[in-house]
Chain A
Amino acid sequence: NAGVTQTPKFQVLKTGQSMTLQCAQDMNHEYMSWYRQDPGMGLRLIHYSVGAGITDQGEVPNGYNVSRSTTEDFPLRLLSAAPSQTSVYFCATRWGASFEQFFGPGTRLTVL
């Protein structure tokens, strides 16, 4: 089992460009989420999904879109990248009512 996978590992964008960060899991977990990690700020929740077709905003959703068409995939879209979105992005999953989350390896994004 691959667990939680993220692509790409690294990405450099110019301001205003768009891109999609991919997240896939093979653990059949209903819950998936996206976090961003910035120095001194820990991990902050961007968006999450409790199942296919259901998404909701976290604490820092502005500038990001998500959709969940399948249980396995939860892509994160940046429609018009800004330097403030330079960060490391983590996808995470959990099963059922558990709080414990399983994290992907991360995507390091730089916006110039």
Chain B
Amino acid sequence: AQSVTQPDIHITVSEGASLELRCNYSYGATPYLFWYVQSPGQGLQLLLKYFSGDTLVQGIKGFEAEFKRSQSSFNLRKPSVHWSDAAEYFCAVGALVQGAQKLVFGQGTRLTINP
């Protein structure tokens, strides 16, 4: 069955440091992959998505993610984080479930930024 695992529940980094959030998926077919960000008290905003083609995708706010089929991973990266990046991040895979298209989400990773 399709699933998404985000191994890190909570990550703390210093402002200006680099960031990598991990995401592993399980899906038998070609995956459609997404990263969403949820700022405190807000809804979910799409950061980036991968459907096909170049395995390194660029998103908003300076984020990028790399699709690695051999590792079933879609890790999110940012070279230098800003205090405004503090939020919860969700990885998701688009899957056909019993003939219906659905998004399956990971558990989320909460990012804290130290000044």
Q: Is A41 an interface residue (CB 8 A)?
A: yes
Q: Name the residue among A99, A104, A106 with the largest chain B CB count within 10 angstroms.
A: A99
A1 to B49, CA, bound (A): 23
B1 to chain A, nearest CB (A): 11
B93 to chain A, nearest CB (A): 9
- What 0/1 pattern do residues 27 to 42 of B give for CB contact below 8 A with A? 0000010101000001
Interface size on B, residues (CB 8 A): 21
Asked if B44 CB lies within 8 Å of chain A CBs, one says yes
Residue of A nearest to B110 (CB): A39
CB–CB B43/A90 < 8 A:
yes
Q: Is residue B101 contacting chain A, with contact meaning CB distance below 8 A?
A: yes
Min C-beta distance of B30 to chain A, whole Å = 12
B107 interfacial contact with A, CB 8 Å: yes
Please, how many angstroms separate the alpha-carbon atoms of A21 and B107 in the complex? 24
Distance to closest chain B CB from A10 (angstroms): 10
Q: Which residues of A contact B60 (CB under 8 A)?
A: none
Known: A40-B9, A100-B34, A100-B46. A56 touches B101 (CB 8 A): no
Alpha-carbon distance A83/B48, docked complex (angstroms): 35
Q: Is the CB of A42 within 8 A of B101?
A: no
B100 adjacent to A90 (CB under 8 Å): no
CA distance A4 to B43 in the complex (A): 10
